Structure 1
Amino acid sequence: MNKKLLAALLMSTALLSAACGDDEEPEESVDVEGCEHLREGPAVPILATTTGTPPLVANDHRRYDITLVDGSGGRTGSVTFAASEATDYVLYTSADVPVSITNGSGAAVAIEESTNSSETCTEIKGRHVVPLTVGTHTFTFGPTSAASVNLVIEEASHEGHEH
């Protein structure tokens, strides 16, 4: 009986390692996760700001439902994100709205790759890959005619990712 238990445990470990290990197409698996959270949440309502300290968002398997405010040229607003490691992050949005990113000292951070769709699912209307350093960054949305935008943040690499 102990041999069967050990064999089952080893098989489970191998399956889990395969499920969360290096995929041949890691971007696709990241898109699957981003899409899942855009669809299903869990959702956290956030009111973006154009003044003061913007509210904090995270890459914590949540969808942030961000309400934008009236600004110059349309609806706009900012949120902050504290990157815990220097890596590429993927920002998924439910609306095709302009996104700009600055680091903690206010310098612009270039977006490496940006598209307004994904073959993975129709909920993804914005997919932005951005290299971030450790520290706090500001994401600014708009100007746009959209009243709100949903945001999911995922690390581009799933190495060490746990479900």
Structure 2
Amino acid sequence: MMKKLLSACLLSSALLVGCGGSTEDADSEGCEHLQAGPGVAITASTTAGNAPAVSNDHKRYDIALPSGSAGSVSFAASEAADYVFFLNADVPLTLTSASGQAVAFESSAKSSESCTDIKGRHVAPLEVGTYTLTLGPASGTVSLVIEESGHEHEHEHEH
């Protein structure tokens, strides 16, 4: 029993210190919320003007996409930081600022080594402001989790 506990502790610390550290933490947390939620069901709009809001508030957003066209949601970045957008399906994702400028992703991947539920993983450096996320075109529902890169739980309760 003690050996198993020691192995678990060593594995946990290896993940925390492992390659990229903060990236692994974001992936683990993103995966946890993709799998366990809590989930919030919303319907994406076909225009950016009335897009429903999503947040990096430790929730999974289950976004119903419009049939045959792309759907939009809005995200208000409360601080300048790198944000990681996790999707449970391989659907196109674009990000635009309030002024309509496309925001380039620092990196995009269709998987994560730490979680097979992640089918889309996009990292973007954002300034404070509101952004439009456009998903698709695709059919059905896509789940989205947003994490701040390097986010740690002790910051949760400072608000």
Could you tell me how far apart the structure 2 residues matched to 1:29 and 1:111 are? 19
1:112 aligns with 2:106: yes
1:26 aligns with 2:22: yes
Could you tell me how far apart the structure 2 residues matched to 1:154 and 1:23 are? 19
Give the drift of 1:23.
4.6
Could you tell me how far apart the structure 1 residues matched to 2:151 and 2:131 are? 21
- 1:156 is aligned to 149
| TM-score normalized with structure 1 length | 0.80
Structure 2 counterparts to residues 6-155 of structure 1, below 5 A? 23-24=17-18, 25-51=21-47, 52-70=49-67, 74-144=68-138, 146-155=139-148
Greater share of strand = 1
Could you tell me how far apart the structure 2 residues matched to 1:131 and 1:23 are? 23
> Whose radius of gyration is greater, 1 or 2?
1
Give the drift of 1:113.
0.2
Residue identity in the other structure for 2:102: A
Instruction: Tell me the matched-pair count.
Output: 139
The superposition leaves residues 138-163 of structure 1 with CA deviations (integer Å, 9 ceiling, x where unpaired) of: 0000112x311000000012255347
Using the aligned pairs only, state the percent identity.
Answer: 59
* Structure 1 unmatched runs, 5+: 1-18
| TM-score normalized with structure 2 length | 0.82
Residue identity in the other structure for 2:55: A
RMSD: 1.7
Task: For residue 102 of structure 2, give the secondary structure of its aligned residue in structure 1.
Answer: coil
Question: Is contact 2:84–2:122 with CA below 8 Å preserved after alignment?
Answer: yes
* Structure 2 unmatched runs, 5+: 1-12
Question: Is contact 1:23–1:29 with CA below 8 Å preserved after alignment?
Answer: no
